Structure 1
Amino acid sequence: MKNSRETKSTPDKADPVDPRILEKRKAIDAIDDQLLTLINERLMLVMDVGKIKARRGRQVLDSARESEIFGRLFKQNQGPLDEKVLTHLFTQIMAASRQLQRPQRVSYLGPEATFTHIAAISHFGLSVEYAPQPSIRDVFRDVEKGASHYGLVPVENSIEGAVNHTLDLFFESELKICAERYLHISHDLLSRSGGIRDIHTVYSHPQALAQCRIWLRQYLPEAALVECNSTAQAARMAAETEGAAAVAAREAAQMYHLEVIASRIEDVARNTTRFLVIGQDEVRATGRDKTSLMFVTSHVPGALYKVLKPMSDAGLNMVKLESRPTRHQNWSYFFFVDVEGHIEDRAVRETVEEMKHLCLYLKYLGSYPRAEEK
């Protein structure tokens, strides 16, 4: 009988790396060196632009310019670089560029790891200072008093509809809409253990619980569903409580040291939230823009039709119409409208001027690059 040690094949040293791989790695290293040099050259040019902007009193964030850059890059990209990865890479480069020109502070509806926080990072990158706020009103106030350069707030969801509090605050505020951002909302079930059998309590925001009702009823029918102020707070509660889980964004798992029990547990897959960047900037036209207005009509038959008719006559495409009570008079409403085009476009400018004469009140909320829903 042979010794078992004699039958094993254990090489004295690791197999040598294929020379072809070494050659490719050398080429990759050379490209990385070039990328590093080129990125630093880009940042030096950005610093020069920042000095010119400072002398002329121009804002650092140029949503129109950034929209143009992405549009050009998307057209030039022949792959295999994925468009989402391209967006992420250049978002970070642009964020670093803005920070070199002037450090920026962005206020958002917190706490950390909420979907608003995730949307803010996807828009502004990781290089800015983020300031979580307890309410949407606090985001507006923080930007109005100059503590933050910009704010990011939710305005509507494809399932739940408009975020009415955001709409109401535009009546009180002089801030402008500087940009918009769409974020696909996907919910995961998170816990400390990563196992589903020991879960007896599920924390989350009421909207998130409602959006995952079918899954929770099927897999956790006995669990108590407890509402929280945010999905991020739910993740924090799950991290602190034995036998608890949270319905939250996957990003919250890493932040609160949780394990993912199940992914994409929402009942409707196509769940998207639209966010608005608010600030003091006037954004120039890009050719692919959106203009937002709010107005009040007379309380007479046909008033709304008369106000909107100039848009139809001008051939403008209205992409959103929402109503909200004015709170100053019963059965009186604000109307919010989004139309394709920029206030600098002659057709849009003349239409808005005509609408002013047909309204009791009209407020221009801003023109900004039209974001693509992905």
Structure 2
Amino acid sequence: MSAPGIDVDPRIDDRRKAIDAIDDQLLELINERLRLVMDVGRIKAEQGRQVLDSSRESRIFDRLLSRNRGPLDEKVLIHLFTQIMAASRQLQRPQRVSFLGPEATFTHIAAMNHFGPSVEYAPQPSIRDVFRDVEKGESHYGLVPVENSIEGAVNHTLDLFFESELKICAERYLQISHDLLSRAGGLKAIRTVYSHPQALAQCRMWLQKYLPDAVLKECNSTARAAQKAAEIEGAAAVASREAAQMYQLAVVASRIEDVARNTTRFLVIGRDAVHRTGRDKTSMMFVTSHVPGALYKVLKPMSDAGLNMVKLESRPTRHENWSYFFFVDVEGHIEDAAVSETLEGMKKLCLYLKHLGSYPKASEG
């Protein structure tokens, strides 16, 4: 309604009334959706099923994006329905999600982007603690970093999959931008810079150019670095803008990463078996015999089946010198005959093979 004493063009007033009517309809439809979700939640509880269904949510987004004719922007559409789905999951059963803390780490930001604001977030001091929290059932899901487009794999995450029985339920990409944060307003007062080792590596040239005499000190997270910068005179942190707001720090310099397009891939870990969507990815790990041509022989069934391998990493097994396990991501789902048959064929050629999960492919944008 218009304010008293202000003349409003009747055309505007008519459209505002129409907008109010649409808002009323939207409110009722959202509540109706949530009532249906509560029914689904009760059925899931009877069957002992998990609340999060990544394949179902992926299909919803695909359908909505294909039907959207604008002017609603795709990113806004995704944001709106992420919030609606988060509220839906909360009504079905309050969820707890573990992440590498403290608050305002990039892992925390990625978790909030994926699950929305309606869940309980549980910061953990290490990636191992994220795994443990989910394994013990304290949290429904955990979110951990697995690779960066510049620095490569997060080896500790890969190693923990060797020990854990948790599955990969989903993936999430987050574009990373680093700021220099400090209580001081300028560069001259900064003597020490704290951050996670990968963040320091990603800003190496900038730090050498503008803070050549500063001592670089590693922390287990960018948010912990921000905490230190808030506590210590003459200290700064390489961290997110969200960390600046949380820890009352000034942004001394923005976007100090050496390479602009810097993206980190995160994995949602839990106990779910996620059904196929038609646009999926399967992750596995295996150990080969230590003989010439062993890796070639193990990967050949994948090539014969026409599967597209999108990632291959190796890590020491730690149980025997010069013995390695390999991580592989392929396009497709374990419910696809080509994928399941290929894994069975590979098992016969491996000392050890483990299916880590099949889940919807996430957009890297």
* Residues 1:280 and 2:243 are matched in the alignment: no
CA apart distance, 1:21: 4.0
Instruction: Let me know the Cα RMSD of the aligned residues.
Output: 2.0
* Residues 1:217 and 2:208 are matched in the alignment: yes
CA apart distance, 1:81: 2.2
Verify the 8 A CA contact 2:100 2:108 in the aligned structure 1.
Answer: yes
Q: 1:156-199 deviations in whole A, cap 9, x for unaligned?
A: 11111111111111111111111111111111122346545544
> Which residue is 1:3 aligned to?
none
Any residues of structure 2 matched to 1:90-109 within 5 Å, and which?
90-109=81-100
Separation in 1, partners of 2:205, 2:164: 40
> Which residue is 1:134 aligned to?
125
> Which residue is 1:80 aligned to?
71
* Residues 1:364 and 2:355 are matched in the alignment: yes
| TM-score (structure 1 length as normaliser) | 0.91
CA apart distance, 1:244: 3.7
> Which residue is 1:340 aligned to?
331
Verify the 8 A CA contact 2:280 2:358 in the aligned structure 1.
Answer: yes
Separation in 1, partners of 2:254, 2:323: 44
Cα 1:261/1:17, change in 2 over 3 Å: farther
Separation in 1, partners of 2:8, 2:249: 38
Question: Match for 1:285: what amino acid?
Answer: R
Indicate the SS of the match to 2:43: helix
CA apart distance, 1:261: 3.0
Verify the 8 A CA contact 1:179 1:369 in the aligned structure 2.
Answer: yes
Separation in 2, partners of 1:89, 1:192: 35
Any residues of structure 2 matched to 1:309-324 within 5 Å, and which?
309-324=300-315
Question: Match for 2:326: what amino acid?
Answer: F
CA apart distance, 1:237: 2.2
Indicate the SS of the match to 1:48: helix
Residue range with higher mean Cα deviation, 154-163 or 250-259 = 250-259
Question: Match for 1:63: what amino acid?
Answer: S
> Which residue is 1:352 aligned to?
343
| TM-score (structure 2 length as normaliser) | 0.93
Cα 1:350/1:268, change in 2 over 3 Å: same
From 258, 262, 269, give the equivalent of 2:249: 258
Separation in 2, partners of 1:252, 1:18: 45
Cα 1:81/1:199, change in 2 over 3 Å: farther
Separation in 2, partners of 1:14, 1:203: 57
Separation in 2, partners of 1:225, 1:296: 37
Question: Match for 1:141: what amino acid?
Answer: R
Separation in 2, partners of 1:246, 1:325: 32
Separation in 1, partners of 2:142, 2:263: 19
> Which residue is 2:221 aligned to?
230
* Residues 1:27 and 2:18 are matched in the alignment: yes
Indicate the SS of the match to 2:117: coil
* Residues 1:39 and 2:8 are matched in the alignment: no
From 121, 128, 134, give the equivalent of 2:112: 121
Question: Match for 1:342: what amino acid?
Answer: H
Q: 1:269-327 deviations in whole A, cap 9, x for unaligned?
A: 11111111111111111001111111111111111111111111111111111111111
Residue range with higher mean Cα deviation, 15-24 or 343-352 = 15-24
CA apart distance, 1:247: 1.6
CA apart distance, 1:34: 2.1
Indicate the SS of the match to 1:364: strand
Cα 1:202/1:171, change in 2 over 3 Å: closer
Indicate the SS of the match to 1:146: coil
Question: Match for 2:199: what amino acid?
Answer: A
> Which residue is 1:269 aligned to?
260
Separation in 2, partners of 1:225, 1:30: 58
Indicate the SS of the match to 1:111: coil
Residue range with higher mean Cα deviation, 320-329 or 71-80 = 71-80
CA apart distance, 1:115: 0.6
CA apart distance, 1:135: 1.1
5+ residue gaps, structure 2, are none
Separation in 1, partners of 2:12, 2:358: 51
Q: 1:204-237 deviations in whole A, cap 9, x for unaligned?
A: 2232122122223333444443433221112222
Indicate the SS of the match to 2:327: strand
Cα 1:149/1:21, change in 2 over 3 Å: same
5+ residue gaps, structure 1, are 1-12
Residue range with higher mean Cα deviation, 224-233 or 63-72 = 224-233
